[in-house]
Chain A
Amino acid sequence: MTGAGLTLEVLKQQGVDTIFGYPGGAIMPLYDAIYDSEVKHYLCRQEQGAAFAALGYAKASGKVGVCMATSGPGVTNLITGLADATADSVPVVAITGQVATPLMGTDAFQEIDVLGLSLAVTKHAFQVTDVEELELTLQKAFQIAISGRPGAVLVDIPKDIQLAAVKMKSILLKPFALPEVEPDAIEQARKLLELSKKPMAYVGGGVSLGGAVTELRDFLKCTGIPSVSTLKGLGAAGTSDDYLGMIGMHGAKASNLAVQSCDLLIAIGARFDDRVTGKLSEFAPDAQVIHLDIDPAELSKLKLADVSVLGDFKQTIPALEMKLNIEDWRQHCSAMSQEFRYQYVSNSDNPLTTIDAPSMLNELSQKLPENTVVTTDVGQHQMWVAQHMRFNEPRNLLTSGALGTMGFGLPAAIGAQLSRKEDCVVTVTGDGSFMMNIQELGTIKRFALPVKILLMDNTKLGMVRQWQRLFFEQRFSETDLSDNPDFVKLASAFDIVGETISSPAEVSAGIQRMLNATGAYLLHVKINEDQSVWPLVPPNTANQSMLEE
């Protein structure tokens, strides 16, 4: 068999049946092998789209996402997606073609220093220069992508290696050993829990990645500890009354105030990102910290933990279960949650002439079929989704958290739809983000994917404009998009049915028509250009000092 054939065999061994990619000169032998392979390849319309589709596939399913691209520009286009995957700890394996080994390092056509480019944005990158190393390298790539804290791994395969003859050795790697949980750390953490009167769980994306959603919910139920969530942790804690909402820059008021006044913060699979903590030195100022993570480099990286618990959440979270007597604190949190709850004005009863975005998303959330996957882009609409939609499972919200990549939503929805064919997939996007990977409408058309697109159009780069209004004296530099294309006409060019709504009275029926559609559907919603995301904690400010409407 050839190196190309072997690559596909390893993919099959790894349980991969879906690949996203784009062919080109240096990866032609691999595409020739794909031609009659049972592994299904989905052609995206730009390599970044393929990378984000692989991300969406991986995030929605919990499996490894696989994408492919050719050398040179194929790889450079993949890079943003790989950076996004690594930043959000999503297991993705990228396979890239390279010019033949004798040409490497000669500035050949479509040659680029792939390792130099990719090492900074992946968990690891390999270049295979001996076909006898190919099988082991691919196996290692999958193991590194999924083990410990997941991330993207790139395997670069020169064209002559793809064509070279090789025998399969059927290599089996030793399973990755998870770190041993230290009993002392558990003991110390339990002592802090016992002493705490006002404990708070701060839940991040790591809980879902570690497959420990059930363990987390059992822990929260057993202890009665109230919880808050990061953007990536949304859905992990479920819908219990003790869950207060998202924290951070656009977090719920009750969540931020509760964290600021807690006496013990239990960070679980979260990394004290600046968008979460606000001014770090004033974040949870009275709290001792227990930090649970699988990545030792995150423990005490930004906020010194009083107790660090390294290990697999499936072991560490249950080890902290105990009954606590914290009824006063729970009632305090619950009362705050009630007091500061967002007051929705249904668009049907809205006396204004413009659509209220939060209320629309709240209505959408209530109308979605069970197990719907929602993907977002980045900006105001993303924060409104995080604030005003409810998720029962973290795998039902796919969003670019750490890297914050506009253009994520549409291709991620494609990947999600292909990994969960029976489930409804809705992408909520903005007029800025939507244009960033608009070419992927072609992928939706080609594979007749029933992806629903809710496009919130304020003819502006809304989040940047909001900051210009608040912090840059209303100098609206380069944030006007009032010459946007006719989005419905654009969708129609890809055989996607669409409609535009602009008045509050049209919202309910519009959402219903979108959800009832059997195929792809664009609901183009014109919203007020001046609507902002509230609350907002200004940068480098303590989280209790939020700006409100």
Chain B
Amino acid sequence: MKQHRLTIIADNQPTMLEQLLRVTRYRGFKVVSLSMQVSQQADSASLQLTVKSERSISLLLNQLLKLVDIKQVNEDLTIAESEPIVLQQSEPEQLLTEAMVTTNNIPAQA
């Protein structure tokens, strides 16, 4: 079972967090950790979500990108479950690996 750390940019709508967690559960992924920061204007939110599953992460990425409130999903890191996750939230950009998957070029509404 692999763990995947995702960075998500979303519209801060009342439906957003619920949709994010619902789709994660329904598509067969377990939440390992979640943190969220709302922008100063409170209109957008940035989330760091770590999930684990036997399933391919692309299944979840594609379904999250279909959600109206979700604007961008990046997979920052994939780790085998046995490896410890090093959380460095103060400098998240340093954790981005070269293998970063940028999926925001896929239309969200499709």
Residues B95-110 near A (CB distance < 8 A): 106-107, 109-110
Contacts of B19 in A (CB 8 A): 119
How many inter-chain residue pairs (CB < 8 Å) link A and B? 51
Contacts of A448 in B (CB 8 A): none
Contacts of A148 in B (CB 8 A): 107, 109-110
Nearest chain B CB to A386's CB is how many angstroms away? 28
Stretch binding the partner chain, chosen from B2-10, B33-41, B60-68, B78-86: B60-68
Residues B1-49 near A (CB distance < 8 A): 14-15, 18-19, 22, 26
A296 & B106 in contact (Cβ 8 Å cutoff)? yes
Nearest chain B CB to A88's CB is how many angstroms away? 16
| In-complex Cβ contact of A144 among B14, B59, B65, B109 (8 A) | B109
**Alpha-carbon distance between A147 and B68 when the two chains are bound, in angstroms:** 12
| In-complex Cβ contact of B26 among A120, A126, A179 (8 A) | A120
Nearest chain B CB to A532's CB is how many angstroms away? 34
A297 & B63 in contact (Cβ 8 Å cutoff)? yes
The 0/1 profile, CB within 8 Å of B marked 1, for residues 98-124 of chain A is: 000000000000000001100110011
B66 & A125 in contact (Cβ 8 Å cutoff)? no
The 0/1 profile, CB within 8 Å of B marked 1, for residues 477-520 of chain A is: 00000000000000000000000000000000000000000000
B65 & A296 in contact (Cβ 8 Å cutoff)? yes
Report 24 cross-chain contacts, Cβ distance below 8 Å, ordered by A residue. Answer: A115-B14, A115-B15, A115-B18, A119-B19, A120-B22, A124-B68, A126-B15, A144-B68, A147-B109, A147-B110, A148-B107, A148-B109, A179-B106, A294-B110, A296-B65, A296-B107, A297-B59, A297-B62, A297-B65, A297-B66, A300-B58, A301-B59, A310-B106, A310-B110
Contacts of A149 in B (CB 8 A): 110
Nearest chain A CB to B68's CB is how many angstroms away? 4
Nearest chain B CB to A79's CB is how many angstroms away? 15
B interface residues with partner A (beta carbon < 8 Å): 14-15, 18-19, 22, 26, 58-59, 62-63, 65-68, 106-107, 109-110
**Alpha-carbon distance between A516 and B97 when the two chains are bound, in angstroms:** 71
- A177 at interface, CB cutoff 8 A: yes
The 0/1 profile, CB within 8 Å of B marked 1, for residues 310-341 of chain A is: 10000000000000000000000000000000
- A295 at interface, CB cutoff 8 A: yes
Residues A142-181 near B (CB distance < 8 A): 144, 147-149, 176-179
User: Residue of B at shortest CB range from A311?
Assistant: B110
- A541 at interface, CB cutoff 8 A: no
Contacts of B15 in A (CB 8 A): 115, 119, 124-126
B18 & A127 in contact (Cβ 8 Å cutoff)? no
Nearest chain B CB to A291's CB is how many angstroms away? 13
Contacts of A295 in B (CB 8 A): 66, 110
Nearest chain A CB to B66's CB is how many angstroms away? 6
**Alpha-carbon distance between A294 and B106 when the two chains are bound, in angstroms:** 11
**Alpha-carbon distance between A126 and B68 when the two chains are bound, in angstroms:** 11
Contacts of A299 in B (CB 8 A): 62
User: Residue of A at shortest CB range from B58?
Assistant: A300
**Alpha-carbon distance between A425 and B107 when the two chains are bound, in angstroms:** 38
Nearest chain A CB to B62's CB is how many angstroms away? 4
A179 & B107 in contact (Cβ 8 Å cutoff)? yes
**Alpha-carbon distance between A144 and B15 when the two chains are bound, in angstroms:** 15
User: Residue of A at shortest CB range from B64?
Assistant: A297
| In-complex Cβ contact of A296 among B22, B62, B68 (8 A) | B62
**Alpha-carbon distance between A116 and B14 when the two chains are bound, in angstroms:** 11
**Alpha-carbon distance between A123 and B109 when the two chains are bound, in angstroms:** 9
**Alpha-carbon distance between A124 and B19 when the two chains are bound, in angstroms:** 9
Residues A118-140 near B (CB distance < 8 A): 119-120, 123-127
A179 & B110 in contact (Cβ 8 Å cutoff)? yes
**Alpha-carbon distance between A295 and B58 when the two chains are bound, in angstroms:** 14
Residue picked from A115, A147, A296, most chain B C-beta under 10 Å = A296
**Alpha-carbon distance between A271 and B15 when the two chains are bound, in angstroms:** 27
Instruction: List 10 extra interface pairs beyond A119-B18, A124-B68, A310-B106, CB under 8 A.
Output: A120-B26, A125-B15, A148-B107, A177-B107, A179-B106, A179-B107, A296-B66, A296-B110, A297-B59, A300-B58
**Alpha-carbon distance between A124 and B23 when the two chains are bound, in angstroms:** 12
Nearest chain B CB to A301's CB is how many angstroms away? 7
Contacts of B67 in A (CB 8 A): 124
Nearest chain A CB to B24's CB is how many angstroms away? 13
